[in-house]
Structure 1
Amino acid sequence: MVAGETSGDMLAARMLSGLRPRIPDARIHGIGGPRMAEHSFINDWPMEKLSVRGLFEVLRHYREISGIRRQLREQLFNEKPDVFIGVDAPDFNLDLEIDLRQAGIPTMHYISPSIWAWRGGRIKKIARAVSHMLVVFPFEEQIYRNAGIPVTYVGHPLAQVIPLEIDTAAAREELGLDPRFKVVTILPGSRMSEIKYNTEAFIRTAKILTDREPNLQIVVPMAGNAQRSYYIQLVVAAKLEGVPVLLIDGRSHTAIAAADTVLVASGTASLEVALFKKPMVIAYKMMEASWQILKHMGYQPWVGLPNILEGEFVVPEFLQSAATPEAMAEAIWTQLNDDVLQNNLKDRFTAMHHTLLRDTAGISAQAVLDVIGQR
């Protein structure tokens, strides 16, 4: 198995929670994170080596990433595993899957690349790479059936991990927050590149909000020690260390549960916020050269998963130059003070949660065993 980032680690761990009890003695190894390790997954390389986003950022790390893929490929050619499972990370995994499949090794890919949003031509490459696709959104299943690619809709694992009813008061108590005052949680991203480009704008947004309402509580969870150190470095460099922020290690779900609204970098985290039934503002910044290329490649007007699933802008999005602290702060302020909007979003996100709720661990584990059995 290969997972390339924190969200992939979570996805894979959910699958392993269903798979490991059925094959307790199997050797399951590759590239993954701490949640996968809880299910006796063996790491051959640290997952952080693959956690790079943006065209030019990837180019800077291309030699190292290619070297890891080449070594892993040779190892798997020799080992001939019963199945290889690429967990997201399509730029790394699909090429590897093509080579492994040609060598007679069954390949599965867990969570479809966003071919319905951009780069739809990748479905031809996926057809060569993947013996069986596992998808997490119901509309994806028909796309793969139409292309003749075996597919299983497993539901989204987050829909099982996150409860339907959220105990906001308990989350605030756990974090030591004052129950009298409102809370904004800020999620700048788990990748180092996301933290690099999002942090200053996000914390300047927090400054505008706390200047307007000094009792407002700002919570910023960090995915790990490296992310925390880099975040602090960026805040100090921007001379924003005076902004009152509660910086916590991990516990991002607790931080989201505690929030009245969330400022979140686009990605899986935006779906997490929706499943917690919280208002949000989605924002994203990246290297300008990458943005100039990527902004012309999308098929839809939305980038945030909640908006894509709903087919409209149910929450605001601010991308690149539009992601100004002033614009983001105003949108957050509106959400904090509009009870009708908050209730409407809660209803819509609850319906979304039910749509995505399946026995993900059991269904995905059975699909893996079926592929192994077919071999």
Structure 2
Amino acid sequence: MAGEASGDLLGGLLLEGLRLALPGVRFWGVGGEAMQAQGFDARWSYEPLAVHGFVDALKRYPRLARFRRALVHALAAPPVDLFIGIDAPDFNLGLEAQLKRAGIGTVHFVSPSIWAWRRRRVKTIARAVDLMLCLFPFEPALYAEAGIEARFVGHPLADRLPLAPDQAGARAALGIAPQAPVLALLPGSREGELRHLLPVFLAAAARLRQALPDLVLLLPTANALGDALVAEALAEAPELGVHVLPRRAHEAMTAADVVLLASGTATLEAALLKRPMVIAYRMNPWQYRLLRRMAYLPWVGLPNILLRETVVPELLQDEANPADLAAAVLRWFEDAPARARLAERFTELHLMLRQDTAQRASEAILTRFGPKLGRG
């Protein structure tokens, strides 16, 4: 059960390993294109589940609650052998708790950010999850304190993405001149993110064109919703000449010199591709104040969190405005030595997370649930 585009991507990488370890098992549930490419039977789309913060979740709660009840019924009669919830903790943990009470084994892939905020959530996790698969090496110790079985499996993107990205090849594939300045724009995959950030990103890009007249703008989209919202926004700004690249985020970031993007999984993807970035996020003002009070760390971007220092700028809420975003992006274009130093740090991070996640996750699942799945 993947709740959004980033979860679908992770699910596709996980299923690639599980299919080899469990060739006779059928995988079905909620997912998207990446999971379907691995033979997954996507009986429901994840797109209606993608919410943007508390306000959006409250608006959609009745529909989400009905859908969760329908899923419990579908998964419990006759019961599946194992349920794997991929990210989307606000939806999946509640679903997993009900399934666990019904005797169905539960795995949660991608630890919620209890190290960043809402640490008391670990009690909810204990009631819901039999096995937690962790992407980052410091996470299992947090769960051990609460008596929850957890395994560090590395990050599948670190296995999939090359240590030395081929920028020249990506540019050639996209028809971009080798020496052109290139900026990739990734304003998120969820409706709320796109509506908050896409207009601001486009306004920042317009400012950057004044300093970099030959700037090439790439804007990958993650799903059909993104296709529609991006087309709507660009119809109002045809002069920007933005190149829209459906489902080609990695290619866009590889070709880029700098990436301007929303906080989330994409920040780690950009780091693994060794790209300088500016991280931005905007949300409902009262929700932002609440989250800041609940946060344990001074950062929201995964590169900064994992390296334990501010290696890339984060512009949040009112700071995420066109003028400041453009200025932060321009500094990366103008400072080649800083870009080189950052690439070295990101290579260290890449090696730390490259653990053959598909194999390690499969081994962890089979060790815990082998007999249930016909193995062991």
Q: Give the TM-score of the pair, scaled to structure 2.
A: 0.96
Give the deviation of 1:74 after TM superposition: 1.2
Of the three residues 237, 262, 266, the one matched with 1:265 is 262
Separation in structure 1 between the aligned mates of residue 321 and residue 282 of structure 2, nearest angstrom: 10
Give 1:63 deviation, angstroms: 1.3
Structure 1 residues 201 and 19, CA gap change in structure 2 (3 angstroms): same
Structure 2 residue aligned with 1:332, among 329, 332, 341?
329
State percent identity of aligned pairs.
44
Q: 2: distance between equivalents of 1:342 and 1:39?
A: 36
* Structure 1: tracts of 5 or more residues without a match: none
Q: CA deviation at 1:79?
A: 2.0
Q: Indicate yes or no: 2:364 matched with 1:352.
A: no
Matched length: 372
Quote the Cα distance in structure 1 between the aligned partners of 2:222 and 2:132: 28
Contact 2:281/2:317 (CA < 8 Å) preserved in 1? Answer: yes
1:326-346 CA deviation, whole Å, 9 max, x = no partner? 111111111011111001100
The answer as to 2:62 corresponding to 1:63 is: yes
Partners of 2:201 and 2:112 lie apart in 1 by 27
Find the counterpart in structure 2 of residue 294 from structure 1.
Answer: 291
Which residues of structure 2 form unaligned runs of 5+?
A: none
Q: Is 2:221 the counterpart of 1:240?
A: no
Aligned pairs for 1:10-21 (under 5 A) are 10-21=9-20
CA distance in 2: counterparts of 1:367 and 1:223, whole angstroms: 30
Q: Given that residues 196 and 234 in structure 1 are in contact (C-alpha distance below 8 angstroms), is that contact kept between their aligned partners in structure 2?
A: no
Residue in structure 2 matched with residue 250 of structure 1 by the alignment: 247
Q: Is the 8 A contact 1:106 1:371 kept in 2?
A: no
Per-residue deviation, 1:59:
1.3
- 2:8 is matched by which residue type in structure 1? D
Given the alignment, which residue of 338, 362, 367 partners 2:364?
367
Structure 1 residue 374: deviation in Å? 5.4
How far did residue 24 of structure 1 move? 2.0
CA distance in 2, matches of 1:358, 1:182: 34
* C-alpha deviation, 1:235, in angstroms: 4.0
Kept in 2, the 8 Å contact 1:262–1:280? The answer is yes
Deviation at 1:58, TM superposition (A): 1.1
Q: For 1:148 and 1:97, how far apart are their aligned partners in 2?
A: 17
Measured at CA, do residues 44 and 188 of structure 1 come closer, stay the same or move farther in structure 2, by a change above 3 Å? same
Which of 273, 278, 288 in structure 2 is aligned with 1:281? 278
Q: Specify the alignment match of 1:225 in structure 2.
A: 224
Give how far 1:45 is off: 1.2
Which segment is superposed worse, 260-269 or 42-51? 42-51
Is 2:220 the counterpart of 1:213? no
Measured against aligned partners, the alpha-carbon deviations of 1:106-144 in whole angstroms (never above 9, x if no partner) come to 111000000000101001110111101000000112111
Q: 1:144–1:151: 8 Å Cα contact kept in structure 2?
A: yes
Q: Which amino acid aligns with 1:323?
A: A
The residue that corresponds to 1:172 in the other structure is: 171
1:130 and 2:129 are equivalent in the alignment: yes
1:105 paired residue number: 104
Counterpart residue number, 2:144 = 145
> Are residues 345 and 231 of structure 1, via their aligned partners in 2, closer, same or farther at CA, if it must alter by over 3 Å?
same
Q: CA offsets, 1:225-262, max 9 Å, x none? A: 321221222344xx433223212212110100001110
Provide, for residues 5-59 of structure 1, a one-character-per-residue CA deviation record: whole Å limited to 9, x for no partner: 1111111111111111222222211101111111221112111011112111111
SS of match in other structure, 2:350: helix
Mapped pair 1:4 → 2:3? yes
Q: Match of 1:64, as an amino acid?
A: R
Match of 2:83 in 1: 84
Which residue of structure 2 aligns with residue 317 of structure 1?
Answer: 314
CA distance in 1, matches of 2:191, 2:142: 33
Query: Take 2:78 and 2:233, find their aligned partners in 1: how far apart are those partners?
Result: 44
Shift of 1:290: 2.6
Query: 2:216, 2:39 → 1: CA distance?
Result: 39
Q: Could you tell me how far apart the structure 1 residues matched to 2:330 and 2:186 are?
A: 17
- Does the Cα contact within 8 Å between 1:30 and 1:45 map onto a contact in 2? yes
1:43-54 to 2 correspondences below 5 Å? 43-54=42-53
Rounded Cα–Cα distance in structure 1 between residues aligned with 2:361 and 2:246: 30
1:119 alignment partner in structure 2: 118
Q: Report what 2:26 is aligned to.
A: 27
The answer (yes or no) to whether the contact 1:277–1:346 under 8 Å persists in 2 is yes
1:308 paired to 2:283:
no
Whole-Å Cα distance in 2 between the matches of residues 33 and 323 of structure 1?
Answer: 30
Contact 2:181 2:212 in 1 (8 A): no
Q: Which amino acid aligns with 2:149?
A: P
